[in-house]
Structure 1
Amino acid sequence: MRDDSHSRPQIQRIRDWLAAEPAAECLDDLAAWQAQLKALLELDTPMAERSSCIGGLAARLLDISDRFKPRLLAATLPLAREVHAGVLDIVRSLHEVGLRFDVDEEREALDEDAVVEAAAWQMRLVGEAFLLSCMGGVEPPHPLWKTANRLLLRHDRLIEALAPGQALSPSVGALLGAYKRMLATAVLQPESLTARELAWVHDYLDVVAGATELSWRPLQPESSVFWLNAREDNPPVAQVRRPPLGTGRVLFFSALALAKRVQEQIEWLEARIAEAEVVGIERDGELLESDSSGLPLGLTPVEALSLLHRMHERWATPQTRDQPRRRKLYTVQVCKGLREIWRMHKRGRPGDEVSEWMVYNESPGGYAIISVGGVHGVISAGMALALRRGIGEPWSICVVRWVRSEKPEEVELGLQVVSESCVPVSVAFRGASERSTTPALLLPPREGRRNNAIMSPAGTYASRRFVMVRETGQLYVAQGRVQSLDMQTANIELYQYEIDPYPI
Structure 2
Amino acid sequence: MEASSATTDDERELLAWLDGEPAATVADDLAAFRARLKPSMAGSRAGGDVRVLEAAAERVLDMAERLRPQLIAVQLPVPSELYETAERVCGALLDVAGWFAERAERERRAGGERSALCMGGLGLLSGVFVLSGLAAAPVPAGVWRQAHRLARAAELMRTAVDDPVRCAYLRLIAVAVSQPEGLTGRELAWIFEFIDARVLAVAGFETGTAAGNAASWWIDADTDIGPQAVARRPVPEGAAHGAPLWFFNPRPMAQKLGECVEWITAHMTAAELAGMNCEVEPLSAEDGGFPAGLSSLEALALLRRVRNHWMATPVREQPRRQNQYVVQVCMGLAAVWELGCSGRVEAGRTHEWVVLNESPAGLAIMSVAGAEANVEAGVALALRRDPQQPWSVCVVRWIRSEMPGQIELGLQVIGPSFQSVKVGFRGRALQQLAPALALPVMEPMRRHPAMLAPAGTYASRRFVFVRDGVGVYIAQARALGLDMQTQGVELFQYEIDPYPI
- Taking a change above 3 Å as real, the CA distance of residues 386 and 19 of structure 1, as seen in their structure-2 partners, is same
Are positions 1:235 and 2:226 aligned together? yes
CA drift at 1:104: 5.9
Contact 1:121-1:175 within 8 A present in 2 as well? no
Contact 1:48-1:110 within 8 A present in 2 as well? no
2:378 paired residue among 382, 388, 391: 382
Distance 1:75 1:39 in 2: 35
Provide the residue aligned with 1:413 in structure 2.
409
Distance 1:475 1:121 in 2: 63
Contact 1:219-1:254 within 8 A present in 2 as well? no
CA drift at 1:422: 0.6
CA drift at 1:201: 0.3
Distance 1:275 1:492 in 2: 23
1:332 paired residue among 288, 305, 327: 327
1:368 paired residue among 364, 369, 382: 364
Are positions 1:350 and 2:315 aligned together? no
Provide the residue aligned with 1:16 in structure 2.
16
Provide the residue aligned with 2:131 in structure 1.
132
- Taking a change above 3 Å as real, the CA distance of residues 286 and 138 of structure 1, as seen in their structure-2 partners, is closer
Provide the residue aligned with 1:114 in structure 2.
113
Contact 2:104-2:114 within 8 A present in 1 as well? no
Provide the residue aligned with 1:189 in structure 2.
179
Q: Which one is further off, 143-152 or 426-435?
A: 426-435
- In the superposition, the TM-score normalised over structure 2's length comes to 0.91
CA drift at 1:119: 2.5
Distance 2:148 2:108 in 1: 24
1:395 paired residue among 391, 401, 419: 391
AA aligned to 1:395 is: W
1:200 paired residue among 190, 201, 219: 190
Provide the residue aligned with 1:472 in structure 2.
469
Q: Which one is further off, 213-222 or 81-90?
A: 213-222
CA drift at 1:435: 4.6
CA drift at 1:402: 0.5
Residues 432-443 of structure 1 correspond to what in structure 2 (within 5 A)? 432=428, 434-443=430-439
- Taking a change above 3 Å as real, the CA distance of residues 16 and 495 of structure 1, as seen in their structure-2 partners, is same
Provide the residue aligned with 2:3 in structure 1.
none
Residue-by-residue CA offset, 1:99-133 (whole Å, 9 max, x unaligned):
24553698267666433432321122122212211
Contact 2:80-2:404 within 8 A present in 1 as well? yes
- In the superposition, the TM-score normalised over structure 1's length comes to 0.90
Provide the residue aligned with 2:155 in structure 1.
158
CA drift at 1:46: 7.5
CA drift at 1:39: 4.1
Unaligned runs of 5+ in 2: 1-5
Distance 2:133 2:139 in 1: 7
AA aligned to 1:243 is: P
- Taking a change above 3 Å as real, the CA distance of residues 113 and 219 of structure 1, as seen in their structure-2 partners, is farther
CA drift at 1:53: 0.7
Distance 2:351 2:232 in 1: 35
Contact 2:77-2:135 within 8 A present in 1 as well? no
AA aligned to 1:199 is: A
Give the alignment's Cα RMSD to 1 decimal: 2.6
- Taking a change above 3 Å as real, the CA distance of residues 22 and 149 of structure 1, as seen in their structure-2 partners, is same
Residues 231-310 of structure 1 correspond to what in structure 2 (within 5 A)? 231-248=222-239, 249-284=244-279, 288-289=283-284, 291=286, 293-310=288-305
Unaligned runs of 5+ in 1: 1-5
Q: Which one is further off, 103-112 or 457-466?
A: 103-112
- Taking a change above 3 Å as real, the CA distance of residues 454 and 132 of structure 1, as seen in their structure-2 partners, is same
2:312 paired residue among 317, 327, 331: 317
Distance 1:220 1:485 in 2: 35
Q: Percent identity?
A: 39
Provide the residue aligned with 2:483 in structure 1.
486
Distance 2:211 2:267 in 1: 33
Distance 2:282 2:34 in 1: 43
Aligned to 1:103, what secondary structure does the other structure show? Answer: helix
Q: Which one is further off, 462-471 or 377-386?
A: 462-471
Aligned to 1:86, what secondary structure does the other structure show? Answer: helix
Contact 1:7-1:45 within 8 A present in 2 as well? no
Provide the residue aligned with 1:450 in structure 2.
447
Q: Which one is further off, 448-457 or 212-221?
A: 212-221
Are positions 1:59 and 2:55 aligned together? no
- Taking a change above 3 Å as real, the CA distance of residues 411 and 260 of structure 1, as seen in their structure-2 partners, is same
Contact 1:219-1:253 within 8 A present in 2 as well? no
Provide the residue aligned with 1:3 in structure 2.
none
- Taking a change above 3 Å as real, the CA distance of residues 56 and 333 of structure 1, as seen in their structure-2 partners, is same
Aligned to 1:407, what secondary structure does the other structure show? Answer: coil
- Taking a change above 3 Å as real, the CA distance of residues 45 and 286 of structure 1, as seen in their structure-2 partners, is closer
- Taking a change above 3 Å as real, the CA distance of residues 476 and 252 of structure 1, as seen in their structure-2 partners, is same
Contact 2:45-2:103 within 8 A present in 1 as well? no
Aligned to 2:190, what secondary structure does the other structure show? Answer: helix
Aligned to 1:34, what secondary structure does the other structure show? Answer: helix
Contact 2:212-2:247 within 8 A present in 1 as well? no
AA aligned to 1:266 is: V
Distance 2:24 2:282 in 1: 35
AA aligned to 1:16 is: A
1:430 paired residue among 426, 430, 443: 426
- Taking a change above 3 Å as real, the CA distance of residues 99 and 106 of structure 1, as seen in their structure-2 partners, is closer
Aligned to 2:358, what secondary structure does the other structure show? Answer: strand
Contact 2:46-2:106 within 8 A present in 1 as well? no
Q: Which one is further off, 405-414 or 192-201?
A: 405-414
- Taking a change above 3 Å as real, the CA distance of residues 228 and 431 of structure 1, as seen in their structure-2 partners, is same
Provide the residue aligned with 1:33 in structure 2.
33
Provide the residue aligned with 1:123 in structure 2.
122
